[in-house]
Amino acid sequence: MDTTFKPVTAQIAAEIARIVGEKYVISGEAEGLAAFSRDEVAEEQYAHMPEAVVRPGTAGEISAIMKLANREHIPVTPRGAGSGLSGGAVPLHGGIVLLCDRMNRILEIDRDNLMAVVEPGVVTNQINEALKPDGLFYAGYPMSLETCYIGGNVAENAGGGKAVKYGVTGRYVTGLEFVTPTGDIVNLGGKLVKDVTGYNLIQLLVGSEGTLGIFTRITLKLLPLPKASVDLLCLFKTAQEAISAVPSIMTKGGVIPTAIEFMDRTSVKASCDYLNESLPYQDAGAMLLITVDGGDDEQVRREYEAVGEQCLGCGATEVYVADNHTTSERIWKVRRNIAEAFKLVSPHQSLEDIVVPIAAIPLMVAAVDKIAKQYDVNIPCYGHAGDGNLHATPVMNPAWNLATWQGTLPKILHELYLATAQLGGTLSGEHGIGHKRKEYVSIFLSQPALDLMRAIKRAWDPNNVLNPGKVF
Amino acid sequence: MRIIVPIKQVPETGAVRMDEATGTMVREGVEAIVNPLDLYAIELALRLRDSSRSADGEGNHEVLALSMGPPKAQTALREALAMGCDRGVLLSDPAFAGSDTWATSNVLASAIRKLGEFALVICGERATDGDTGQVGPGIASFLDLPLVTYVSRVRSFGPDEMVVERLVEEGHEVLAMSLPGVLTVVKEACDPRLPTLRGKQRARQAELVRWGHQELGLAREKVGLAGSPTRVVRLHRPSVARQCRRLIAADEESAALAVRELVDILRQKNLL
């Protein structure tokens, strides 16, 4: 596909300013633009400067910008909160970064239909804050929920902590208004629980990483807010024991928990040090953080006892119970801050997002261990064990120089992905491909599958102006 | 050897809202938890019990949690049991409603007296709802016992005296106190453990002793609102007047100027 683009000249910048208003355009000075050259992927090599940042307020303005981009052949990269972990919002070929932060209204909470209509720039957690008084909730729960935008969640099909029971973002998107790469405003679906009218373009757009359209209105399915929720923190002697307990919790325990998070000792220690928290990690090789929620206290108690007994039966050395918000927050905070804590341990690391079938998790953890030993690096492992999604994170050996690390990391990743593929797994469960993992896609997707995806991209975006250079 | 920990059930701090009209806390529909600062008292008590146990075998060492409150305060006591306390006593009586810190200290002290011999009473520094920090010292004065507040570390414990560190603004005081006595502890003392599954199961089955004013031998007019010498006359929200000034130091020259100006400001305010 064509990836030669024209620059954003002063004249084009002026035209953009006429569309959205002068104060909603940042261009020219590098200082203001630099913040939009990267997302949460730390490494410099994945960053790229935009030429202009534009903050439209309506679908009409976005449409006008896309038409201009097609006419002038300028790339446009949509951006939410910039909390992505695969470089999806990085303007790889410069051009325009299209920020959706101004489109941040919760347009409607429809109690009769259990639906909410929101704009893409709403912070995910705000949706639940707004729904709480009505006893409703939106089940998406990315770890970054306090900062990320719902638009980004839909673009990446974000998963997160509650996916074991509630699934990922896509399950809750029933309607989309979006601007196509060529500038048409299109409406799909609505407040509908069932809809097979035509191709399911909504689910094609969910997880399309900003390459097929820019969302302007999102209809989300809501659920009644669970009245009770309890967290268990289960300590195991080894990572293998902990991870082996996961399948049996669900199959033998007869309970599908809301979340089953896995953290090895390195991860727990890093986060506890960062938070000045004192969980008893010293004697535990790994921990499972398990959430059970439901309609009333008694039901949840029965279920958490069943899950807890199952863990003790699988060799857990201790099971802690957090049944109030303060204590729950104390342990979830440890889980949520692992990624942040590792950045302080070493800035040179690669947060991965592999997924394997749940029964293969113990084998995957063993494979990660083997690779870590083979290359003499630490690969701490944590993540959503209940759905097979592991954030294995190779961290640079402190004795190495940067060149050695940069030379070795691709080999480590290649081995990691081959092992993942062998177990029937895949490259990314919730962070997306972006350009960070692009070169590894062919390990997991066949040529015909890639050809189909490219054909779709060409049909939707003939001039290749919307987020070019991503996914494949 | 017995250690008694008086605890309080408080509204979950993150969920607290104030009724703007009445200036009181909205408690309806808000999750109730053990006062977070009492968890440090529980933890310290459990550690002292466990180290005494291992020092002289399986002697008769116990931690007893005590709480005055409505019947639902038993949840707080059960949480204390789940953390490892051996017994719980609930002081619940409609007559106790409206107690101020004096009346509360009186009820708690009466219960402690009724329980018989003990080595130590450990209280949290204060409750996160009332925020007075008076009940710990109140218990000590009703029982006429020595008291050390703001304890951040126990250096030695028992049998007849204990040595503790007390956190004060300038550093630490090291104090020896004869036993029995009363402590209030600060966060620095220890990190509270989490309740365990086995602990929860045990706590759910446990029988709690429940006493009212009659069991404690207290006259009705000595408890609750009737027995409270203090009254809340008015609640108001203080206005916060913060003055923010920014001294920009972009280079060496302006940094020198900014430092000089900062020193001047601090001098004017008598802070240097």
Q: Are residues A21 and A38 in the same domain?
A: yes
* Cα B173 from Cα B161, distance rounded (Å): 16
Among the listed residues A249, A219, A225, the one whose alpha carbon sits nearest the alpha carbon of residue A236 = A249
Please report whether residue A15 resides in a domain.
yes
Give the closest-approach CA distance of B244 to chain A in angstroms.
26
> How much is the average pLDDT of A76-87?
95
pLDDT of residue A65: 98
Mean pLDDT of B111-140: 94
Q: Which of B191, B194, B198 sits opposite A327 (nearest CB)?
A: B194
Q: Do A325 and B195 lie within an 8 Å CB cutoff?
A: no
Question: What pTM, to 2 d.p., does this model score?
Answer: 0.83
User: Could you tell me how many CB contacts below 8 A there are between chain A and chain B?
Assistant: 50
Would you say residue B73 has pLDDT above 90? yes
Judge if A35 and A71 occupy the same domain: yes
Nearest residue of chain B to residue A317 (CA atoms): B196
Measured distance CA(B150)–CA(B36) in Å, rounded: 15
Which pLDDT belongs to residue A387? 87
| Total of domains in chain A | 4
- Among residues A206, A224, A242, the one where a domain terminates is A224
Domain with B117 in it:
2-222
- For the segment A60-67, the average pLDDT, to the nearest whole number, is 98
For the domain that residue A248 is a member of, what is the CATH number? 3.30.70.2190
Of the pLDDT bands very low, low, confident and very high (cuts 50, 70, 90), residue B242 is confident
Domain match, A335 and A232 both: yes
pLDDT in tens, B96-107: 999 999 999 999
Mean pLDDT of A56-70: 98
ipTM of this predicted structure: 0.81
B196, part of any domain: yes
Q: Mean of the pLDDT values across residues B39-46? A: 97
Task: Enumerate the residues of chain A whose CB falls inside 8 A of the CB of residue B197.
Answer: 232, 304-305, 308-309, 312, 319-321
For residue B22, is pLDDT > 70?
Answer: no
CA distance B197 to chain A (A): 6
CATH number, position A139: 3.30.465.10
Distance CA A69, CA A72 (A): 5
Q: Do B37 and B16 touch, CB atoms closer than 8 A?
A: no
Q: What is the mean pLDDT of residues A15-30?
A: 90
Any chain A CB within 8 A of the CB of B178?
Answer: no
Residue among B12, B191, B200 whose CB faces A324 most closely? B12
Do B33 and A331 count as a contact with CB atoms less than 8 A apart?
no
What per-residue confidence (pLDDT) applies to B12?
83
Distance, in Å, from the CA atom of A351 to the CA atom of A109, rounded to the nearest integer, reads: 36
Inside any domain, residue B228:
no
pLDDT at B34: 94
Q: Of chain B residues 188-227, which have a CB less than 8 A from chain A?
A: 191, 193-201
Please tell me the distance from the alpha carbon of residue A386 to that of residue A250, in angstroms, as a whole number. 9
Regarding whether B214 and B247 lie in a shared domain, the answer is no
A65 belongs to a structural domain: yes
Residue of A nearest to B201 (CA): A305
pLDDT band at B127 (very low <50, low <70, confident <90, very high): very high
| Of B13, B196, B200, Cβ closest to residue A326 | B13
pLDDT at site A279: 83
- Find the range with the poorest average confidence among A141-155, A201-215, A288-302, B72-86: A141-155
CA B52/CA B58 separation, integer angstroms: 9
Instruction: Please list the residues that pair with B211 across neighbouring strands.
Output: B91
The pLDDT assigned to B25 comes to: 67
Q: Which two tokens stand for residue B39?
A: 């968890």
Q: Is A278 on the interface with B (CB under 8 A)?
A: yes
Q: Mutation target for A interface from B200, B201, B205: give the one with most A CBs within 10 A.
A: B200
Contact A324 B200 (CB under 8 A): no
Tell me: do A394 and A360 sit in the same domain: yes
Distance from CA of A90 to the nearest CA of B (A): 31
Q: Which two tokens stand for residue B121?
A: 């009473």
Put simply, the answer to whether B197 touches A324 (Cβ < 8 Å) is no
Q: Is residue A469 part of a domain?
A: no
The answer to whether residue B21 scores a pLDDT higher than 70 is no
Q: Tell me the per-residue pLDDT of A242-287, one tens digit each, with 9 for 90 and over.
A: 988 988 888 887 889 999 999 988 888 888 888 888 888 777 889 9
The answer to whether the Cβ–Cβ distance between A319 and B201 falls below 8 Å is no
Same domain, B124 and B246: no
Average pLDDT over residues B49-77: 90
* Domain annotation covers residue B160: yes
Do the domain assignments include residue B227? no
- Kindly state whether residues A383 and A432 are assigned to the same domain: yes
Give the span between the Cα atoms of A376 and A392, in whole angstroms. 15
Q: Among A286, A312, A340, where does a domain finish?
A: A340
Q: pLDDT: is A1 or A464 the higher one?
A: A464
Mean pLDDT (whole number) for A93-118? 97
Segment of A231-235, A245-249, A346-350 carrying the highest mean pLDDT: A231-235
What is the structure's pLDDT at A339? 80
Chain B nearest C-alpha distance from A242 (Å) = 17
- Kindly report, residue by residue over B146-171, the tens digit of the pLDDT: 999 999 999 999 889 999 999 998 89
Residue B11, amino acid: P
Residue A457 is assigned to a structural domain of this protein? no
B250 and B182 in one domain? Answer: no
What does the DSSP assignment read for A369-391? Answer: HHHHHHHT-B--EEEEGGGTEEE
pLDDT bin (cut points 50, 70, 90) of residue B235 is confident
pLDDT of residue B118: 95
Q: Please tell me which residue of chain A has the smallest CA distance to B196.
A: A320
- Is A423 domain-assigned? yes
- B193 and B267 share one domain: no
- Sequence letter at residue A324: N
Kindly state the average pLDDT of the residues A360-380: 91
What is the span of the domain harbouring residue A417? Answer: 346-443
Is A320 close to B12, i.e. CB distance below 8 A?
A: no
pLDDT-derived band of residue B83, with 50, 70 and 90 as boundaries? very high
* pLDDT attached to residue A1: 65
Contact A326 B15 (CB under 8 A): no
Confidence band of B251 (pLDDT split at 50, 70, 90): confident
Instruction: Indicate the average pLDDT of chain A.
Output: 92
> Which of B 33-72 lie inside 8 A of A, CB atoms?
33, 36
Residues A421-467 pLDDT 10s: 999 999 999 999 999 999 999 999 999 999 999 999 999 999 999 99
Q: Tell me: pLDDT of B20 over 90.
A: no
Cβ–Cβ gap A331/B196 under 8 Å: no
| Helix segments in A38-142, DSSP class H | 59-72, 124-131
Number of separate domains in chain B = 2
Q: Two tokens at A147?
A: 């900062």
User: Tokens 């490494």 — which residue?
Assistant: A43
Contacts of B36 in chain A (CB under 8 A): 326
Would you say residue A433 lies in a domain?
Answer: yes
pLDDT given for residue A338 in this prediction: 86
CB < 8 Å to A320, chain B = 194-197
Shortest Cα distance, chain A CAs vs residue B33, angstroms: 7
Chain A residue with CA closest to B32: the answer is A324
**pLDDT tens-digit series, residues A134-164:** 999 999 877 777 889 999 999 999 987 788 8
